[in-house]
Amino acid sequence: MTSVVSASKRTIRIGSRKSQLALVQTHWVKEELQKSFPDITFEVHTMSTQGDKILDVALAKIGDKGLFTKELELGMINQEIDFAVHSLKDLPTNLPEGLALAAITERENPADALVVHEKHKDKQIDTLPAGAVIGTSSLRRLAQLRHNYPHFTFKDVRGNLNTRMAKLDAGEYDALILAVAGLERLGMGDRVHQAIPDNISLHAVGQGALGIECRADDTELISLLKAIEHPETRDRCLAERAFLRVLEGGCQVPIGVNTDISGDTLTLKGIVASVDGKRLVQDTVSGAAKDAEQLGSQLAQSLRQQGAQEILDEILAEAGRDS
């Protein structure tokens, strides 16, 4: 295969979803690469994914393995694009044959954000009133919040960020739970009313980081993409992705994580919760950062032995009955 970085081909085609956030993220990657490789032309090609088209059904109802990535992956396999930029939390842990996760960028704040209606601007999540309508499309957030705040009312919310914000501001919701990183990347960081502590809501695997996927045999492109990889974020996210892979859960299974690196030591905390929030299994492991994926697998096995597998089996059985 002729490398996309060889002298005979100086244009690299970057695949992106059409959403505002996806385009902001993709153009950031393009600009960072352009700084390092001024002689190469980078072009952005946009595609609509299944997740962008189905906006009237809860994500948990339609399954989400590859929901925001499949069309981009087909584009790479068919050589219509050379690499794709994903929110890493949307990228399945098992990639199609022939594709590889080439680089992971420096993580933004991975926390979940509380975004409130104007009338609750003096409140924090602990002081919102009983019955407050909280909007989220994530089972992970839903399960953990139900565990901590069973007195809230939870309601699904879909659509792009501006659509969700308009629904909040119109009074359909008292608050939304969104990602701090997404809001900040879109210049809406002022709407982050509270970054929710990890003792209330552990974040999604890969949340806040970007994953760059390309053809596995394009070694020169992979080498080029390493220019924007962040080693600490990579180790943290590889541990998280291994944890999720062993548990075989998509993002629409209530699995949350938190990672930290101090020196050469990586600490990974993980949680599996039932959708109703009544059962919650969590544990923590620490070890050498270079063994990130082994640590993720170790934590998954530990949680399985503590009852996580039973919870996951029930969720998958329920999903099967609904489909």
Domain ranges of the chain: 1-106+209-229, 112-195, 231-323
Query: According to CATH, what is the number of the domain 231-323?
Result: 3.30.160.40
Specify the pLDDT at position 322. 63
Q: Strand, coil or helix: what is 91?
A: coil
Give, in degrees to the nearest 5, the angle at Cα 16 between 11 and 17.
155
Burial state string for 108-132 with b = 16 or more CB within 10 A and e = fewer than 16: bbbbbbbbbbeebeebebeebeeeb
Give the contacts of 200 (CB within 8 A, at least 6 positions apart).
Answer: 125, 144, 145, 148
Question: Which parts of the chain are beta strand (E)?
Answer: 11-17, 41-47, 83-87, 99-104, 112-116, 133-135, 153-155, 175-179, 194-195, 210-215, 255-262, 265-273, 280-288
Specify the pLDDT at position 105. 98
CA distance 161 to 71: 22
Specify the pLDDT at position 50. 54
Q: Give the torsion through C-alpha atoms of 294, 297, 298, 304, to 10 deg.
A: 180
Domain 1-106+209-229 has CATH 3.30.360.10: no
Question: Which parts of 77-205 are beta strand (E)?
Answer: 83-87, 99-104, 112-116, 133-135, 153-155, 175-179, 194-195
Residue type, 22: A
Checking phi first, is residue 193 left (phi over 0); if not, alpha (psi -120 to 50) or beta?
Answer: alpha
Report the top-level CATH class of 112-195: alpha beta
Specify the pLDDT at position 289. 97
CA distance 223 to 231: 14
90 is catalytic: yes
This model's pTM is above 0.95: no
Specify the pLDDT at position 93. 92
Q: Which of 39, 52, 82, 90 is catalytic?
A: 90
Along the 323 residues of the chain, how does pLDDT read in single tens digits? Answer: 444 445 345 799 999 999 899 999 999 999 999 999 999 999 999 987 554 443 443 444 434 555 568 889 999 999 999 999 999 998 999 999 999 999 999 999 999 999 999 999 999 999 999 999 999 989 999 999 999 999 999 999 988 888 999 999 999 999 999 999 999 999 999 999 999 999 999 999 999 999 999 999 999 999 999 999 999 999 999 999 999 999 976 556 899 999 999 999 999 999 999 999 999 999 999 999 999 999 999 999 999 999 999 999 888 887 766 65
CATH fold match for the domains 112-195 and 231-323? no
Specify the pLDDT at position 10. 72
